Structure 1
Amino acid sequence: MALCWRLDRLDGVTLGFTAHDRDLPIDGVLYSSRPGMLPSAISQSDGFDVDTLDLDGALTDDAIAEADLAAGRWDGANLTLFAADWNDPSAPTLAIARGELGDVTIRDGAFTVELRGAAALLERPVVERTSPDCRAELGDKRCRVDLAPRTRIARVTEAEGMVLTLDASEPSANAYGFGRLRWLGGGNAGLGAAIALSAGATLTLRDPPFASPEPGVLVELTEGCDRLLATCRSRFANAANFRGEPYLPGNDLLARYGTGG
Protein backbone atom coordinates (compact mmCIF):
# COMPACT_ATOMS: atom_id res chain seq x y z
CA MET A 1 0.00 0.00 0.00
CA ALA A 2 1.15 3.55 -0.78
CA LEU A 3 0.05 6.80 0.85
CA CYS A 4 -1.50 9.33 -1.55
CA TRP A 5 -2.61 12.94 -1.26
CA ARG A 6 -5.18 14.70 -3.43
CA LEU A 7 -5.15 18.51 -3.23
CA ASP A 8 -8.02 20.58 -4.63
CA ARG A 9 -7.26 24.30 -4.65
CA LEU A 10 -10.01 26.90 -4.52
CA ASP A 11 -9.06 28.13 -8.00
CA GLY A 12 -9.93 24.72 -9.52
CA VAL A 13 -6.41 23.25 -9.76
CA THR A 14 -6.12 19.61 -8.62
CA LEU A 15 -2.79 17.93 -7.84
CA GLY A 16 -1.94 14.45 -6.60
CA PHE A 17 1.16 13.21 -4.72
CA THR A 18 2.25 9.83 -3.41
CA ALA A 19 4.89 8.46 -1.05
CA HIS A 20 5.59 5.67 -3.56
CA ASP A 21 8.83 5.73 -5.60
CA ARG A 22 6.99 6.15 -8.93
CA ASP A 23 3.97 8.04 -10.21
CA LEU A 24 0.53 6.40 -9.83
CA PRO A 25 -2.53 7.10 -12.07
CA ILE A 26 -5.67 6.92 -9.87
CA ASP A 27 -9.17 7.98 -10.94
CA GLY A 28 -7.94 10.23 -13.73
CA VAL A 29 -5.33 12.04 -11.60
CA LEU A 30 -1.60 11.34 -11.86
CA TYR A 31 -0.17 11.13 -8.33
CA SER A 32 3.42 12.33 -8.54
CA SER A 33 6.22 10.84 -6.45
CA ARG A 34 7.67 14.36 -6.11
CA PRO A 35 8.05 16.42 -3.94
CA GLY A 36 8.01 13.46 -1.53
CA MET A 37 5.38 14.54 0.98
CA LEU A 38 5.44 12.80 4.34
CA PRO A 39 2.70 12.89 7.02
CA SER A 40 3.16 13.11 10.76
CA ALA A 41 1.68 10.46 13.04
CA ILE A 42 -2.03 10.06 12.28
CA SER A 43 -4.48 9.49 15.13
CA GLN A 44 -8.24 9.14 14.84
CA SER A 45 -10.90 8.75 17.49
CA ASP A 46 -14.66 8.63 17.87
CA GLY A 47 -14.71 11.60 20.23
CA PHE A 48 -15.09 15.33 19.57
CA ASP A 49 -11.42 16.25 19.78
CA VAL A 50 -10.12 18.19 16.79
CA ASP A 51 -8.11 15.87 14.58
CA THR A 52 -5.11 17.53 12.90
CA LEU A 53 -1.90 16.32 11.30
CA ASP A 54 1.12 17.91 9.65
CA LEU A 55 2.46 17.28 6.15
CA ASP A 56 6.07 17.90 5.22
CA GLY A 57 7.40 18.23 1.68
CA ALA A 58 10.02 19.81 -0.52
CA LEU A 59 9.40 22.92 -2.61
CA THR A 60 9.69 22.31 -6.35
CA ASP A 61 9.21 24.48 -9.43
CA ASP A 62 6.72 22.17 -11.14
CA ALA A 63 4.57 21.11 -8.16
CA ILE A 64 4.43 23.23 -5.01
CA ALA A 65 6.37 26.46 -5.43
CA GLU A 66 7.27 28.86 -2.65
CA ALA A 67 5.77 31.75 -4.62
CA ASP A 68 2.38 30.01 -4.81
CA LEU A 69 2.39 29.32 -1.07
CA ALA A 70 3.33 32.93 -0.32
CA ALA A 71 0.64 34.23 -2.68
CA GLY A 72 -2.02 32.21 -0.87
CA ARG A 73 -2.94 29.93 -3.77
CA TRP A 74 -3.00 26.98 -1.35
CA ASP A 75 -4.98 28.67 1.43
CA GLY A 76 -8.10 26.68 2.29
CA ALA A 77 -7.36 23.94 -0.26
CA ASN A 78 -9.14 20.63 0.34
CA LEU A 79 -6.87 17.65 1.00
CA THR A 80 -7.74 13.95 0.96
CA LEU A 81 -5.27 11.42 2.37
CA PHE A 82 -5.74 7.77 1.41
CA ALA A 83 -3.89 4.52 0.85
CA ALA A 84 -3.81 2.84 -2.57
CA ASP A 85 -2.50 -0.45 -3.95
CA TRP A 86 0.58 0.65 -5.92
CA ASN A 87 0.55 -2.66 -7.82
CA ASP A 88 -3.06 -2.10 -8.95
CA PRO A 89 -3.96 1.62 -8.90
CA SER A 90 -7.46 0.86 -10.22
CA ALA A 91 -8.35 -1.08 -7.05
CA PRO A 92 -10.54 0.56 -4.38
CA THR A 93 -8.65 2.94 -2.09
CA LEU A 94 -8.69 3.24 1.70
CA ALA A 95 -9.65 6.69 3.02
CA ILE A 96 -7.56 7.87 5.98
CA ALA A 97 -8.25 11.56 6.55
CA ARG A 98 -9.62 14.64 4.84
CA GLY A 99 -9.92 18.32 5.60
CA GLU A 100 -8.56 21.68 4.52
CA LEU A 101 -5.07 23.13 4.64
CA GLY A 102 -4.30 25.43 7.56
CA ASP A 103 -1.10 27.17 8.61
CA VAL A 104 1.89 26.84 6.25
CA THR A 105 5.52 27.17 7.37
CA ILE A 106 8.39 27.53 4.87
CA ARG A 107 12.00 26.89 5.90
CA ASP A 108 15.22 25.80 4.15
CA GLY A 109 13.55 24.90 0.85
CA ALA A 110 10.82 22.80 2.47
CA PHE A 111 7.32 23.39 3.79
CA THR A 112 5.13 22.11 6.61
CA VAL A 113 1.37 22.47 6.36
CA GLU A 114 -1.34 21.68 8.89
CA LEU A 115 -4.39 19.64 7.88
CA ARG A 116 -7.55 20.61 9.74
CA GLY A 117 -9.99 17.73 9.93
CA ALA A 118 -13.77 17.88 9.76
CA ALA A 119 -13.98 17.95 13.57
CA ALA A 120 -12.36 21.42 13.49
CA LEU A 121 -15.73 22.75 12.31
CA LEU A 122 -16.99 22.17 15.86
CA GLU A 123 -14.87 25.10 17.02
CA ARG A 124 -16.92 27.55 14.97
CA PRO A 125 -19.78 29.51 16.59
CA VAL A 126 -23.16 27.80 16.32
CA VAL A 127 -25.39 30.83 16.90
CA GLU A 128 -24.81 34.16 15.19
CA ARG A 129 -24.46 37.36 17.17
CA THR A 130 -26.92 40.16 16.58
CA SER A 131 -25.64 43.09 14.54
CA PRO A 132 -27.09 46.18 12.87
CA ASP A 133 -25.30 45.20 9.65
CA CYS A 134 -26.25 42.29 7.40
CA ARG A 135 -24.39 39.07 8.19
CA ALA A 136 -25.03 37.44 4.80
CA GLU A 137 -22.58 37.56 1.92
CA LEU A 138 -23.85 39.33 -1.17
CA GLY A 139 -25.18 36.66 -3.53
CA ASP A 140 -25.14 33.71 -1.10
CA LYS A 141 -28.14 31.47 -0.40
CA ARG A 142 -29.38 33.74 2.38
CA CYS A 143 -28.99 36.99 0.45
CA ARG A 144 -30.32 35.56 -2.85
CA VAL A 145 -29.19 38.51 -4.99
CA ASP A 146 -28.26 37.28 -8.48
CA LEU A 147 -24.62 38.24 -9.07
CA ALA A 148 -24.53 37.16 -12.72
CA PRO A 149 -25.64 40.57 -14.08
CA ARG A 150 -23.44 42.27 -11.46
CA THR A 151 -20.22 40.53 -12.55
CA ARG A 152 -18.16 42.02 -15.37
CA ILE A 153 -14.82 41.60 -17.15
CA ALA A 154 -12.56 44.63 -17.52
CA ARG A 155 -8.99 45.37 -18.55
CA VAL A 156 -6.43 47.12 -16.37
CA THR A 157 -4.91 50.09 -18.17
CA GLU A 158 -2.82 51.45 -15.31
CA ALA A 159 -1.78 50.21 -11.85
CA GLU A 160 -0.10 52.12 -9.04
CA GLY A 161 0.11 50.34 -5.69
CA MET A 162 -3.43 49.45 -4.64
CA VAL A 163 -5.09 51.78 -7.18
CA LEU A 164 -6.14 50.34 -10.54
CA THR A 165 -7.47 52.16 -13.59
CA LEU A 166 -9.77 50.18 -15.88
CA ASP A 167 -10.96 50.55 -19.45
CA ALA A 168 -14.61 50.71 -18.32
CA SER A 169 -16.45 52.79 -15.75
CA GLU A 170 -18.57 51.39 -12.93
CA PRO A 171 -22.35 51.11 -13.57
CA SER A 172 -23.21 53.23 -10.49
CA ALA A 173 -21.44 55.15 -7.75
CA ASN A 174 -19.11 52.90 -5.70
CA ALA A 175 -20.67 49.82 -7.32
CA TYR A 176 -17.57 47.71 -6.71
CA GLY A 177 -16.89 48.99 -3.18
CA PHE A 178 -16.81 46.04 -0.72
CA GLY A 179 -16.82 43.74 -3.76
CA ARG A 180 -14.29 41.25 -5.14
CA LEU A 181 -11.73 41.24 -7.93
CA ARG A 182 -10.29 38.10 -9.51
CA TRP A 183 -7.16 38.27 -11.65
CA LEU A 184 -7.54 36.43 -14.97
CA GLY A 185 -3.94 36.73 -16.15
CA GLY A 186 -0.43 37.82 -15.29
CA GLY A 187 1.48 36.96 -12.14
CA ASN A 188 -1.68 37.15 -10.01
CA ALA A 189 -3.77 34.81 -12.20
CA GLY A 190 -6.35 32.93 -10.14
CA LEU A 191 -5.93 35.09 -7.03
CA GLY A 192 -8.71 37.21 -5.56
CA ALA A 193 -8.65 40.62 -3.91
CA ALA A 194 -11.07 42.67 -1.85
CA ILE A 195 -12.09 46.06 -3.25
CA ALA A 196 -12.25 48.95 -0.78
CA LEU A 197 -13.99 51.46 -3.05
CA SER A 198 -14.52 52.43 -6.68
CA ALA A 199 -15.01 55.72 -8.47
CA GLY A 200 -15.64 55.88 -12.19
CA ALA A 201 -12.95 53.77 -13.86
CA THR A 202 -10.74 53.62 -10.75
CA LEU A 203 -10.58 50.88 -8.11
CA THR A 204 -8.82 50.92 -4.75
CA LEU A 205 -7.91 47.49 -3.35
CA ARG A 206 -7.75 46.72 0.37
CA ASP A 207 -4.30 45.12 0.07
CA PRO A 208 -1.48 45.42 -2.47
CA PRO A 209 -1.51 42.67 -5.15
CA PHE A 210 1.04 39.87 -4.77
CA ALA A 211 2.69 40.70 -8.09
CA SER A 212 2.76 44.03 -9.91
CA PRO A 213 -0.10 43.96 -12.45
CA GLU A 214 0.85 44.28 -16.09
CA PRO A 215 -1.09 46.83 -18.20
CA GLY A 216 -3.69 45.06 -20.30
CA VAL A 217 -4.35 42.18 -17.88
CA LEU A 218 -7.97 41.12 -17.55
CA VAL A 219 -9.85 41.09 -14.24
CA GLU A 220 -13.26 39.85 -13.16
CA LEU A 221 -15.19 42.37 -11.06
CA THR A 222 -18.11 41.54 -8.76
CA GLU A 223 -20.21 44.28 -7.20
CA GLY A 224 -20.20 44.68 -3.43
CA CYS A 225 -22.50 45.77 -0.62
CA ASP A 226 -21.83 47.82 2.53
CA ARG A 227 -24.33 45.61 4.45
CA LEU A 228 -26.60 48.49 5.43
CA LEU A 229 -30.38 48.15 5.33
CA ALA A 230 -30.75 51.34 3.30
CA THR A 231 -28.44 49.95 0.60
CA CYS A 232 -30.17 46.58 0.62
CA ARG A 233 -33.55 48.25 0.16
CA SER A 234 -32.74 50.98 -2.34
CA ARG A 235 -30.01 49.42 -4.49
CA PHE A 236 -30.86 45.72 -4.45
CA ALA A 237 -34.61 45.78 -3.52
CA ASN A 238 -33.80 42.92 -1.17
CA ALA A 239 -34.87 44.15 2.27
CA ALA A 240 -36.94 40.98 2.81
CA ASN A 241 -33.68 38.98 2.95
CA PHE A 242 -31.73 41.43 5.13
CA ARG A 243 -29.88 39.42 7.80
CA GLY A 244 -29.37 42.01 10.51
CA GLU A 245 -31.15 43.84 13.32
CA PRO A 246 -30.85 47.56 12.48
CA TYR A 247 -33.54 48.61 14.97
CA LEU A 248 -32.53 46.41 17.90
CA PRO A 249 -31.51 48.58 20.92
CA GLY A 250 -27.82 48.28 21.75
CA ASN A 251 -25.81 48.57 24.95
CA ASP A 252 -25.79 52.35 24.60
CA LEU A 253 -29.44 52.32 25.72
CA LEU A 254 -28.34 51.18 29.19
CA ALA A 255 -26.03 54.19 29.52
CA ARG A 256 -28.70 56.78 28.85
CA TYR A 257 -29.94 58.98 31.69
CA GLY A 258 -33.46 60.19 32.13
CA THR A 259 -34.11 63.84 31.60
CA GLY A 260 -36.41 65.86 33.78
CA GLY A 261 -39.25 67.77 32.23
Structure 2
Amino acid sequence: MSGLLAHMGTGVTTTCRCWALTRRDGVVMGFTDHDRALAFEGVAFRPDTGLSALAVQQSTGLSVDNTEALGALSDAAIREADIEAGRYDGAELRAWLVNWQDVAARALIFAGTIGELRRAGGAFEAELRGLTDALNVSLGRVYQKSCSAVLGDRDCTFDLDTPGYVSERPAEVVEETRVFRFGEVGGFEEDWFRHGVIRVLSGAATGLIGLIKRDRVEGMGRVIELWQPLGAQVVAGDALRIEAGCDKRMSTCQFKFDNLLNFQGFPDIPGDDWTITDPTKSPALDGGSRR
Protein backbone atom coordinates (compact mmCIF):
# COMPACT_ATOMS: atom_id res chain seq x y z
CA MET A 1 0.00 0.00 0.00
CA SER A 2 2.77 2.46 0.93
CA GLY A 3 4.54 1.69 -2.37
CA LEU A 4 1.40 2.50 -4.32
CA LEU A 5 0.87 5.75 -2.40
CA ALA A 6 4.42 6.81 -3.17
CA HIS A 7 3.86 5.98 -6.83
CA MET A 8 0.60 7.95 -6.94
CA GLY A 9 2.41 10.91 -5.39
CA THR A 10 4.80 11.20 -8.33
CA GLY A 11 2.06 12.66 -10.50
CA VAL A 12 2.78 10.27 -13.39
CA THR A 13 1.19 6.89 -12.77
CA THR A 14 1.20 3.47 -14.41
CA THR A 15 -1.75 1.82 -12.73
CA CYS A 16 -4.37 -0.71 -13.77
CA ARG A 17 -7.00 -2.85 -12.13
CA CYS A 18 -6.82 -6.57 -11.46
CA TRP A 19 -9.56 -8.97 -10.36
CA ALA A 20 -9.25 -12.46 -8.86
CA LEU A 21 -12.41 -14.56 -8.99
CA THR A 22 -12.75 -17.76 -6.93
CA ARG A 23 -15.72 -19.98 -7.74
CA ARG A 24 -17.29 -22.22 -5.13
CA ASP A 25 -15.88 -25.28 -6.90
CA GLY A 26 -12.34 -23.96 -6.27
CA VAL A 27 -11.56 -22.65 -9.77
CA VAL A 28 -9.55 -19.38 -9.60
CA MET A 29 -9.53 -16.91 -12.52
CA GLY A 30 -7.59 -13.66 -12.91
CA PHE A 31 -8.41 -10.64 -15.09
CA THR A 32 -6.85 -7.25 -15.71
CA ASP A 33 -7.66 -4.19 -17.80
CA HIS A 34 -3.96 -3.77 -18.60
CA ASP A 35 -2.69 -4.73 -22.08
CA ARG A 36 -0.35 -7.50 -20.87
CA ALA A 37 -0.50 -10.34 -18.38
CA LEU A 38 0.38 -9.75 -14.71
CA ALA A 39 0.89 -12.16 -11.83
CA PHE A 40 0.92 -11.91 -8.03
CA GLU A 41 -0.42 -13.82 -5.02
CA GLY A 42 -0.26 -17.00 -7.09
CA VAL A 43 -2.82 -15.76 -9.62
CA ALA A 44 -2.19 -15.05 -13.32
CA PHE A 45 -4.20 -12.02 -14.48
CA ARG A 46 -5.08 -12.20 -18.17
CA PRO A 47 -5.58 -9.10 -20.36
CA ASP A 48 -7.57 -10.73 -23.19
CA THR A 49 -10.88 -11.27 -21.44
CA GLY A 50 -12.56 -7.94 -22.11
CA LEU A 51 -13.38 -7.52 -18.40
CA SER A 52 -13.80 -4.01 -17.05
CA ALA A 53 -15.35 -2.53 -13.91
CA LEU A 54 -17.47 0.47 -13.06
CA ALA A 55 -16.70 2.77 -10.13
CA VAL A 56 -16.76 1.19 -6.69
CA GLN A 57 -19.33 2.70 -4.34
CA GLN A 58 -17.85 2.65 -0.83
CA SER A 59 -19.05 4.14 2.41
CA THR A 60 -18.33 4.15 6.11
CA GLY A 61 -20.36 2.21 8.67
CA LEU A 62 -22.20 -0.99 7.77
CA SER A 63 -23.54 0.04 4.37
CA VAL A 64 -22.85 -2.51 1.64
CA ASP A 65 -20.10 -1.55 -0.81
CA ASN A 66 -21.06 -2.42 -4.36
CA THR A 67 -19.92 -2.15 -7.95
CA GLU A 68 -20.39 -3.94 -11.26
CA ALA A 69 -18.13 -5.79 -13.66
CA LEU A 70 -18.69 -5.99 -17.40
CA GLY A 71 -17.14 -8.41 -19.87
CA ALA A 72 -17.43 -10.53 -22.98
CA LEU A 73 -18.47 -14.17 -22.93
CA SER A 74 -15.62 -16.34 -24.19
CA ASP A 75 -14.83 -20.04 -24.31
CA ALA A 76 -11.36 -19.17 -23.00
CA ALA A 77 -12.64 -17.22 -19.99
CA ILE A 78 -16.24 -16.89 -18.78
CA ARG A 79 -18.60 -19.14 -20.73
CA GLU A 80 -22.34 -18.73 -20.98
CA ALA A 81 -22.80 -22.43 -20.22
CA ASP A 82 -21.01 -22.02 -16.88
CA ILE A 83 -23.16 -19.01 -15.97
CA GLU A 84 -26.29 -20.98 -16.87
CA ALA A 85 -25.08 -23.88 -14.71
CA GLY A 86 -24.71 -21.54 -11.72
CA ARG A 87 -20.94 -21.99 -11.36
CA TYR A 88 -20.46 -18.28 -10.67
CA ASP A 89 -23.27 -17.90 -8.14
CA GLY A 90 -21.80 -16.59 -4.88
CA ALA A 91 -18.24 -16.61 -6.24
CA GLU A 92 -15.70 -14.56 -4.25
CA LEU A 93 -14.02 -11.63 -5.96
CA ARG A 94 -11.12 -9.34 -4.99
CA ALA A 95 -10.04 -6.23 -6.89
CA TRP A 96 -6.76 -4.32 -6.70
CA LEU A 97 -5.34 -1.09 -8.00
CA VAL A 98 -1.88 -2.12 -9.22
CA ASN A 99 1.25 -0.42 -10.52
CA TRP A 100 1.81 -2.60 -13.58
CA GLN A 101 5.54 -1.72 -13.62
CA ASP A 102 5.90 -3.04 -10.05
CA VAL A 103 3.03 -5.31 -8.99
CA ALA A 104 4.28 -5.25 -5.38
CA ALA A 105 2.92 -1.69 -5.29
CA ARG A 106 -0.78 -2.43 -5.10
CA ALA A 107 -3.84 -1.87 -2.90
CA LEU A 108 -6.92 -4.03 -2.39
CA ILE A 109 -9.87 -1.78 -3.23
CA PHE A 110 -12.73 -4.27 -3.14
CA ALA A 111 -13.55 -7.69 -1.67
CA GLY A 112 -16.89 -9.40 -1.85
CA THR A 113 -19.05 -11.80 -3.83
CA ILE A 114 -20.94 -11.93 -7.11
CA GLY A 115 -24.63 -11.16 -6.70
CA GLU A 116 -26.98 -10.92 -9.67
CA LEU A 117 -25.36 -11.91 -12.96
CA ARG A 118 -26.97 -11.00 -16.27
CA ARG A 119 -25.97 -11.96 -19.81
CA ALA A 120 -27.14 -10.79 -23.24
CA GLY A 121 -25.72 -10.26 -26.70
CA GLY A 122 -22.50 -12.16 -26.08
CA ALA A 123 -21.67 -10.14 -22.95
CA PHE A 124 -22.30 -10.37 -19.22
CA GLU A 125 -22.84 -7.89 -16.39
CA ALA A 126 -22.17 -8.95 -12.80
CA GLU A 127 -23.26 -7.16 -9.64
CA LEU A 128 -20.52 -7.25 -6.99
CA ARG A 129 -21.46 -7.04 -3.32
CA GLY A 130 -19.11 -6.07 -0.51
CA LEU A 131 -18.28 -8.12 2.59
CA THR A 132 -20.85 -6.29 4.74
CA ASP A 133 -23.62 -7.82 2.59
CA ALA A 134 -23.33 -10.91 4.80
CA LEU A 135 -24.71 -8.84 7.71
CA ASN A 136 -28.10 -8.79 5.96
CA VAL A 137 -28.51 -12.54 6.58
CA SER A 138 -30.94 -13.36 9.40
CA LEU A 139 -29.39 -15.29 12.27
CA GLY A 140 -30.80 -17.16 15.23
CA ARG A 141 -33.03 -20.15 15.92
CA VAL A 142 -36.49 -20.58 14.46
CA TYR A 143 -39.00 -22.23 16.80
CA GLN A 144 -40.86 -24.62 14.52
CA LYS A 145 -42.13 -28.18 14.58
CA SER A 146 -39.77 -29.48 11.89
CA CYS A 147 -35.97 -29.64 12.15
CA SER A 148 -34.11 -26.49 11.11
CA ALA A 149 -30.78 -28.23 10.43
CA VAL A 150 -29.48 -29.37 7.05
CA LEU A 151 -28.71 -33.08 6.91
CA GLY A 152 -25.01 -33.51 7.67
CA ASP A 153 -24.27 -29.93 8.82
CA ARG A 154 -22.66 -28.99 12.14
CA ASP A 155 -26.04 -28.88 13.94
CA CYS A 156 -27.20 -32.22 12.57
CA THR A 157 -23.74 -33.88 12.84
CA PHE A 158 -24.90 -36.96 10.91
CA ASP A 159 -22.12 -38.52 8.81
CA LEU A 160 -23.49 -38.99 5.30
CA ASP A 161 -20.65 -41.39 4.48
CA THR A 162 -22.19 -43.91 6.87
CA PRO A 163 -22.82 -47.15 4.92
CA GLY A 164 -26.41 -47.41 3.73
CA TYR A 165 -27.01 -43.70 3.19
CA VAL A 166 -25.07 -43.01 -0.03
CA SER A 167 -24.98 -44.66 -3.44
CA GLU A 168 -22.18 -43.84 -5.86
CA ARG A 169 -22.86 -45.09 -9.39
CA PRO A 170 -22.63 -44.02 -13.03
CA ALA A 171 -25.56 -42.33 -14.74
CA GLU A 172 -27.54 -44.64 -17.02
CA VAL A 173 -30.53 -42.94 -18.66
CA VAL A 174 -30.94 -39.18 -18.15
CA GLU A 175 -34.00 -37.28 -19.39
CA GLU A 176 -33.92 -33.46 -19.64
CA THR A 177 -31.09 -33.41 -17.03
CA ARG A 178 -33.83 -33.89 -14.43
CA VAL A 179 -34.99 -37.51 -14.48
CA PHE A 180 -32.43 -40.25 -13.78
CA ARG A 181 -33.32 -43.85 -14.56
CA PHE A 182 -31.30 -46.79 -13.24
CA GLY A 183 -31.60 -50.49 -13.94
CA GLU A 184 -31.39 -51.35 -10.26
CA VAL A 185 -30.46 -49.63 -7.00
CA GLY A 186 -30.44 -52.49 -4.53
CA GLY A 187 -30.37 -52.11 -0.77
CA PHE A 188 -32.44 -48.92 -0.59
CA GLU A 189 -36.17 -48.88 -0.04
CA GLU A 190 -38.47 -46.69 -2.14
CA ASP A 191 -38.37 -42.97 -1.24
CA TRP A 192 -35.07 -43.46 0.61
CA PHE A 193 -33.45 -40.66 -1.44
CA ARG A 194 -36.47 -38.32 -1.51
CA HIS A 195 -35.47 -34.86 -0.17
CA GLY A 196 -31.83 -35.84 -0.70
CA VAL A 197 -29.35 -34.66 -3.34
CA ILE A 198 -27.55 -35.89 -6.44
CA ARG A 199 -23.96 -34.66 -6.81
CA VAL A 200 -22.29 -34.93 -10.21
CA LEU A 201 -18.68 -36.10 -9.83
CA SER A 202 -17.52 -36.20 -13.46
CA GLY A 203 -18.43 -34.95 -16.92
CA ALA A 204 -19.67 -31.57 -18.12
CA ALA A 205 -21.80 -31.06 -15.00
CA THR A 206 -19.03 -31.79 -12.46
CA GLY A 207 -19.72 -30.04 -9.17
CA LEU A 208 -23.42 -29.40 -9.78
CA ILE A 209 -26.00 -30.50 -7.22
CA GLY A 210 -29.66 -31.38 -7.74
CA LEU A 211 -32.40 -31.63 -5.07
CA ILE A 212 -34.41 -34.84 -5.28
CA LYS A 213 -38.18 -34.48 -5.60
CA ARG A 214 -39.21 -38.13 -6.09
CA ASP A 215 -37.59 -41.54 -5.68
CA ARG A 216 -39.70 -44.43 -6.91
CA VAL A 217 -39.38 -48.02 -8.06
CA GLU A 218 -40.61 -48.86 -11.56
CA GLY A 219 -40.61 -52.57 -12.28
CA MET A 220 -37.05 -53.77 -11.73
CA GLY A 221 -35.63 -50.26 -12.08
CA ARG A 222 -35.37 -47.05 -10.09
CA VAL A 223 -36.37 -43.50 -11.11
CA ILE A 224 -35.02 -40.45 -9.32
CA GLU A 225 -36.53 -37.08 -10.29
CA LEU A 226 -35.12 -33.65 -9.40
CA TRP A 227 -37.08 -30.50 -8.60
CA GLN A 228 -35.24 -28.57 -11.32
CA PRO A 229 -33.01 -29.57 -14.23
CA LEU A 230 -29.27 -29.35 -13.73
CA GLY A 231 -27.53 -26.50 -15.51
CA ALA A 232 -25.31 -28.75 -17.66
CA GLN A 233 -25.69 -32.02 -19.54
CA VAL A 234 -25.28 -35.35 -17.74
CA VAL A 235 -24.65 -38.35 -19.99
CA ALA A 236 -24.46 -42.10 -19.41
CA GLY A 237 -21.29 -43.00 -17.58
CA ASP A 238 -20.91 -39.74 -15.63
CA ALA A 239 -20.20 -40.49 -11.96
CA LEU A 240 -22.97 -39.62 -9.51
CA ARG A 241 -23.24 -39.53 -5.72
CA ILE A 242 -26.82 -40.00 -4.48
CA GLU A 243 -27.40 -39.06 -0.82
CA ALA A 244 -30.31 -40.09 1.39
CA GLY A 245 -32.92 -37.45 2.15
CA CYS A 246 -34.50 -36.14 5.34
CA ASP A 247 -38.03 -34.69 5.55
CA LYS A 248 -37.20 -32.87 8.85
CA ARG A 249 -39.65 -34.89 10.97
CA MET A 250 -38.71 -36.13 14.43
CA SER A 251 -39.71 -39.70 13.59
CA THR A 252 -37.43 -39.67 10.54
CA CYS A 253 -34.52 -38.38 12.61
CA GLN A 254 -35.13 -41.11 15.19
CA PHE A 255 -35.84 -44.17 13.06
CA LYS A 256 -34.11 -43.48 9.74
CA PHE A 257 -30.93 -41.80 10.98
CA ASP A 258 -30.83 -42.77 14.70
CA ASN A 259 -29.92 -39.14 15.42
CA LEU A 260 -32.70 -37.95 17.73
CA LEU A 261 -30.30 -36.28 20.20
CA ASN A 262 -29.39 -33.77 17.49
CA PHE A 263 -32.93 -33.07 16.32
CA GLN A 264 -33.28 -29.28 15.92
CA GLY A 265 -37.08 -28.99 15.85
CA PHE A 266 -39.68 -28.31 18.54
CA PRO A 267 -42.45 -30.89 17.97
CA ASP A 268 -44.27 -30.21 21.27
CA ILE A 269 -44.95 -26.50 20.75
CA PRO A 270 -48.74 -25.96 20.44
CA GLY A 271 -49.93 -24.83 17.04
CA ASP A 272 -51.84 -21.66 16.16
CA ASP A 273 -55.22 -23.38 16.57
CA TRP A 274 -54.43 -24.21 20.18
CA THR A 275 -53.44 -20.65 21.09
CA ILE A 276 -56.79 -19.19 19.96
CA THR A 277 -58.98 -21.95 21.43
CA ASP A 278 -61.42 -20.87 24.19
CA PRO A 279 -63.15 -23.10 26.77
CA THR A 280 -66.63 -22.67 25.27
CA LYS A 281 -65.58 -24.25 21.96
CA SER A 282 -63.38 -27.10 23.09
CA PRO A 283 -63.19 -29.93 25.59
CA ALA A 284 -61.63 -29.21 28.97
CA LEU A 285 -57.94 -28.58 28.57
CA ASP A 286 -56.83 -28.45 32.20
CA GLY A 287 -59.58 -29.88 34.37
CA GLY A 288 -61.05 -26.49 35.26
CA SER A 289 -64.74 -25.58 35.21
CA ARG A 290 -66.27 -24.50 31.90
CA ARG A 291 -69.45 -23.05 33.45
Which of 151, 157, 181 aligns to 1:144? It is 157
Secondary structure of the structure 2 residue equivalent to 1:244: coil
Secondary structure of the structure 2 residue equivalent to 1:12: coil
Which of 24, 34, 44 aligns to 2:58? It is 44
Unmatched 5+ stretches in structure 2: 1-14, 285-289
Q: Which residue does the alignment assign to 1:106?
A: 119
Q: Which residue does the alignment assign to 2:196?
A: 179
Q: Contact 2:115–2:127 (CA<8 Å) still a contact in 1?
A: yes
Q: Which residue does the alignment assign to 1:225?
A: 246
Q: Contact 1:154–1:168 (CA<8 Å) still a contact in 2?
A: no
CA distance in structure 2 between the aligned counterparts of 1:19 and 1:211, rounded to whole angstroms: 30
Relative to structure 1, the CA distance from residue 30 to residue 152 in structure 2 (aligned partners, 3 Å threshold; closer, same or farther) is farther
Q: Contact 2:86–2:231 (CA<8 Å) still a contact in 1?
A: no
Secondary structure of the structure 1 residue equivalent to 2:172: strand
Q: What is the Cα deviation at residue 103 of structure 1?
A: 0.5
Q: What is the Cα deviation at residue 67 of structure 1?
A: 1.6
Relative to structure 1, the CA distance from residue 13 to residue 167 in structure 2 (aligned partners, 3 Å threshold; closer, same or farther) is farther
Q: What is the Cα deviation at residue 212 of structure 1?
A: 4.2
Matches within 5 A, 1:91-130: 91=104, 93-130=106-143
Q: Does 1:132 align with 2:145?
A: yes
Q: Contact 1:170–1:176 (CA<8 Å) still a contact in 2?
A: no
Compare 173-182 and 133-142 and name the one that shifted more. Answer: 173-182
Which deviations, in whole Å up to 9, do the C-alpha atoms of 1:41-95 show, x marking residues without a partner? 1132221212221111111111001121122111111111122332233x26421
Q: Which residue does the alignment assign to 1:62?
A: 76
CA distance in structure 1 between the aligned counterparts of 2:174 and 2:111, rounded to whole angstroms: 40
Q: What is the Cα deviation at residue 107 of structure 1?
A: 2.0
Compare 18-27 and 158-167 and name the one that shifted more. Answer: 158-167
Q: Which residue does the alignment assign to 2:282?
A: 258
Matched letter for residue 118 of structure 1: L
Q: How high is the TM-score relative to the length of structure 2? A: 0.82
Q: Which residue does the alignment assign to 1:237?
A: 258
CA distance in structure 2 between the aligned counterparts of 1:110 and 1:134, rounded to whole angstroms: 43
Q: What is the Cα deviation at residue 151 of structure 1?
A: 3.8
Q: Contact 1:154–1:167 (CA<8 Å) still a contact in 2?
A: no
In angstroms, what is the RMSD of aligned CA positions? 2.0
Q: Does 1:166 align with 2:182?
A: yes
Compare 95-104 and 144-153 and name the one that shifted more. Answer: 144-153
CA distance in structure 1 between the aligned counterparts of 2:100 and 2:175, rounded to whole angstroms: 52
Matched letter for residue 171 of structure 2: V
Q: Contact 1:194–1:206 (CA<8 Å) still a contact in 2?
A: yes
Compare 9-18 and 31-40 and name the one that shifted more. Answer: 31-40
Q: Contact 1:170–1:198 (CA<8 Å) still a contact in 2?
A: no
Q: Which residue does the alignment assign to 2:9?
A: none
Q: What is the Cα deviation at residue 243 of structure 1?
A: 1.0
Matched letter for residue 185 of structure 2: S
Q: Which residue does the alignment assign to 1:196?
A: 213
Secondary structure of the structure 2 residue equivalent to 1:230: helix
Please identify the structure whose Cα radius of gyration is greater.
Answer: 2
Q: Contact 2:21–2:93 (CA<8 Å) still a contact in 1?
A: yes
Matched letter for residue 82 of structure 2: D
Relative to structure 1, the CA distance from residue 167 to residue 46 in structure 2 (aligned partners, 3 Å threshold; closer, same or farther) is farther
Q: What is the Cα deviation at residue 175 of structure 1?
A: 2.6
How many aligned positions are there? 260
Q: Does 1:29 align with 2:43?
A: yes
Q: What is the Cα deviation at residue 245 of structure 1?
A: 0.9
Matched letter for residue 166 of structure 1: F
Q: Which residue does the alignment assign to 1:76?
A: 90
Compare 139-148 and 196-205 and name the one that shifted more. Answer: 196-205
Q: How high is the TM-score relative to the length of structure 1? A: 0.91
Which of 214, 221, 227 aligns to 1:206? It is 227
Q: Which residue does the alignment assign to 1:249?
A: 270
